[in-house]
């Protein structure tokens, strides 16, 4: 496009706090800017509430992120075709005030790109190495002062140290995402922060039922940004940043750094975090990685709720008493997908005639097939059909029995591993207290599930903003029981009528506890 983004951000300036912290202030959605192209520079209530709530949710989960200061809406309307399906509607204009130490991205350095050998496209500041040097100097001296100080007499070494640090920060950031089931949705170079923050909340989603191939963005047809692809795509983006830093950092240096550091840092941080989530606080054993992957495999087989399963594990007793195990299995299987939920998840997505045509085309004209479809997508659809067919014969009792068997197998391995922890300490009670404490502070009870955000959005679109405030309050304490949580009620006269109408709809849809796995209607939600 020759520029970054859709031109809806206005940079107001920066504030230096008394502690010397630097905060950039931005408005998102305040109207036309010189970069709005054919668009209007506006954002709507729906997407703004999602950005506002998720920025704060991530911060309180302890994950590096930009922040949201305010969310302001108005009666001005713009037309939006939400699902790009020819059904536009009027939506309220809304502005989010965003705060971060910097909004510079990997993509900011791609404005210097030389012409592409295939498309001929080039960056708007091609051949302006003077600006690249200025920007790199600014980023390193302002946000990586210790690196600037350590290598003030050698720019190549300084730039290499900077690239090593942003590689490690990015690897740790993605590991944090994977450990809470967060999917970003649009991980291009424009949405990667130069200081390692989660940035630009669009079609994101927290995973409910564990599915390694989960796609949160309804318009990501190829699954480029699927949950299990996030580590790989962020590494690819770092490779693009490396290319954009030439000649200030030669590619042979940055590529070596990327290969040396990224995967190792990701694996190390991911496993450290997973040990905490499982309460493995005493020993670091080689077998832990296998235990984690077998847990995720069990979750996948049983359609387990990612967040709630981890939460439950803190109450698992090492005591092998059969009645305790049976009670715990009951709780675990309640967090697994029902037959109805699985039928919705595996419902075939292609018209049978279309699939048949694609399969014939794959045989008769592989070149043409490669242009209009991917083998992976077809295989996935065939797998879906097979699973859906099996589900037609499956009873709830069979599913429950199967799920209990899978979980019993994994829990036995987990019990053996916890026993090793206990055997390595002198005070088992003190260990257990710490074990539970660490698990409860690393496994959130509340996340911004799509259905929770949707309930808040629908109420706000009807003039009642109390649900947004309720959800925000909850997300500010994601690891705590909400026993003392009091819902905020709004009662101004002008909001009264529309709020009453919204309340009726809300009563039927949102009486589930905020920590509940999603209701069946939530599977219909699509975010693009």
- List, as one string, the DSSP characters of 437-488: HHHHTTS-S----HHHHHHHHHHHHTT--HHHHHHHHHHTSTTS--TT----
Q: Give the pLDDT of residue 51.
A: 97
SS3 99: strand
Q: Give the pLDDT of residue 485.
A: 59
Which residues are registered as beta bridge partners of 206? Answer: 182
Q: Give the pLDDT of residue 35.
A: 86
Angle at CA of residue 34, ends 33 and 36, nearest 5°: 65
Q: Give the pLDDT of residue 375.
A: 75
Which two tokens mark 423? 């055997």
User: 366 and 325 in contact (C-beta within 8 Å)?
Assistant: no
Q: How far is CA 445 from the centre of its chain?
A: 16
Q: Give the pLDDT of residue 3.
A: 66
SS3 316: coil
User: 298 and 407 in contact (C-beta within 8 Å)?
Assistant: yes
User: 68 and 52 in contact (C-beta within 8 Å)?
Assistant: yes
- As a whole number of angstroms, the distance between CA 228 and CA 148 comes to 35
Which two tokens mark 326? 């049976």
User: How many helices and strands in the chain, by DSSP H and E?
Assistant: 18, 7
β-pairing verdict for 9-16 and 22-28: antiparallel
β-pairing verdict for 9-16 and 205-206: unpaired
Which two tokens mark 26? 């931005």
Q: Tokens 């065939």 identify what position? A: 382
Return the active site residues: 190
- As a whole number of angstroms, the distance between CA 488 and CA 61 comes to 22
The phi-psi region of residue 370 (left if phi > 0; otherwise alpha if psi is between -120 and 50; otherwise beta) is alpha
Q: How many residues are there in the chain?
A: 528
| Contacts (Cβ under 8 Å, ≥6 apart) of 193 | 66, 100, 102, 103, 104, 105, 199
Taking Cα atoms as reference points, which of 113, 100, 99, 245 lies closest to residue 167? 245
- As a whole number of angstroms, the distance between CA 194 and CA 69 comes to 21
- As a whole number of angstroms, the distance between CA 358 and CA 404 comes to 39
Q: Tokens 């009027």 identify what position? A: 90
Taking Cα atoms as reference points, which of 380, 5, 352 lies closest to residue 199? 5
User: 95 and 31 in contact (C-beta within 8 Å)?
Assistant: no
Instruction: Tell me how crowded residue 109 is: count the other CB atoms within 10 A of its CB.
Output: 25
Taking Cα atoms as reference points, which of 461, 492, 488, 454 lies closest to residue 474? 488
Instruction: Tell me how crowded residue 330 is: count the other CB atoms within 10 A of its CB.
Output: 11
Query: Which backbone phi and psi does 92 adopt, to 5 degrees?
Result: -70, 135
Q: Tokens 């900011």 identify what position? A: 108
Q: Give the pLDDT of residue 319.
A: 84
Helix then strand then coil, in percent of the chain rounded to 5, is 55, 10, 35
> Residues in the chain with pLDDT < 50?
492-499, 501-502, 504, 508
**Long-range contacts, stretch 148-156, CB < 8 angstroms, 24+ apart:** 155/248, 156/249, 156/250, 156/253
Q: Tokens 């990586």 identify what position? A: 144
pTM of the model: 0.92
- 524: exposed, middle or buried (C-beta count within 10 Å: 0-12, 13-18, 19+)? exposed
β-pairing verdict for 22-28 and 89-100: antiparallel
The phi-psi region of residue 429 (left if phi > 0; otherwise alpha if psi is between -120 and 50; otherwise beta) is alpha
- Count Cβ neighbours within 10 Å for each residue of 139-173 and write b for 16 or more, e otherwise: bbeebbeebbeebeeeeeebbbbbbbbbbbbbbbb
User: 43 and 29 in contact (C-beta within 8 Å)?
Assistant: yes
């Amino acid at each position: 496009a020759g520029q970054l983004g859709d031109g809806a951000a206005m940079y107001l300036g920066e504030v230096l706090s008394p502690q010397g912290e630097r905060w950039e202030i931005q408005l998102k959605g305040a109207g036309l800017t010189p970069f709005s192209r054919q668009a209007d520079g506006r954002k709507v209530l729906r997407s703004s509430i999602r950005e506002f709530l998720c920025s704060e949710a991530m911060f309180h989960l302890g994950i590096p992120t930009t922040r949201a200061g305010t969310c302001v809406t108005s009666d001005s309307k713009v037309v939006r075709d939400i699902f790009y399906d020819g059904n536009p509607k009027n939506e309220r204009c809304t502005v989010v005030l965003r705060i971060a130490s910097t909004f510079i991205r990997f993509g900011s350095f791609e404005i210097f790109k030389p012409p592409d050998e295939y498309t001929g496209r080039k960056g708007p500041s091609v051949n302006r190495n003077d600006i690249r040097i200025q920007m790199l100097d600014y980023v390193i001296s302002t946000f990586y002062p210790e690196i600037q100080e350590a290598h003030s007499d050698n720019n190549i070494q300084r730039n290499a140290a900077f690239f090593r640090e942003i590689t490690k920060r990015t690897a740790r950031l993605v590991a944090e995402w994977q450990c809470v089931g967060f999917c970003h949705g649009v991980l291009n170079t424009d949405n990667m922060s130069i200081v390692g923050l989660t940035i630009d909340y669009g079609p994101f989603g927290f995973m409910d039922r564990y599915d390694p191939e989960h796609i949160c963005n309804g318009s990501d047809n190829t699954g480029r940004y699927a949950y299990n692809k996030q580590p790989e795509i962020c590494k690819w983006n770092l490779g693009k940043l490396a290319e954009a830093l030439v000649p200030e950092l030669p590619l042979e240096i940055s590529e070596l750094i990327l290969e040396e550091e990224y995967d190792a840092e990701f694996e190390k941080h991911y496993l450290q975090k997973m040990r905490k989530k499982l309460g493995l606080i005493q020993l670091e054993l080689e077998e832990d990685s296998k235990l984690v992957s077998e847990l995720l495999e069990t979750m996948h087989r049983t359609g387990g709720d990612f967040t709630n399963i981890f939460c439950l594990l803190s109450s698992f007793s090492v005591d092998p008493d059969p009645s305790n195990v049976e009670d715990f299995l009951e709780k675990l299987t309640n967090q697994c997908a029902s037959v109805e939920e699985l039928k919705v998840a595996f419902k075939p997505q292609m018209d049978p005639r279309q699939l048949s045509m694609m399969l014939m085309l794959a045989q008769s004209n592989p070149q043409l097939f490669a242009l209009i479809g991917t083998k992976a997508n077809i295989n996935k659809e065939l797998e879906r059909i097979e699973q859906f067919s099996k589900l037609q014969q499956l009873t709830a009792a069979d599913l429950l029995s199967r799920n209990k068997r899978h979980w019993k197998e994994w829990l036995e391995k987990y019990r053996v591993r916890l026993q090793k922890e206990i055997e390595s300490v002198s005070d088992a009670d003190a260990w257990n207290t710490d074990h539970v404490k660490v698990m409860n502070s690393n496994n959130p009870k509340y996340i911004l599930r799509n259905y929770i955000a949707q309930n808040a959005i629908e109420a706000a679109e009807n003039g009642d903003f109390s649900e947004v405030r309720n959800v925000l309050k909850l997300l500010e304490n994601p690891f705590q029981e909400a026993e003392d949580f009091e819902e905020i009620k709004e009662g101004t006269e002008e909001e009264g009528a529309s709020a009453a109408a919204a309340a009726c709809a809300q009563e039927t849809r949102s009486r589930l506890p905020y920590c509940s796995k999603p209701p069946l209607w939530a599977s219909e939600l699509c975010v693009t």
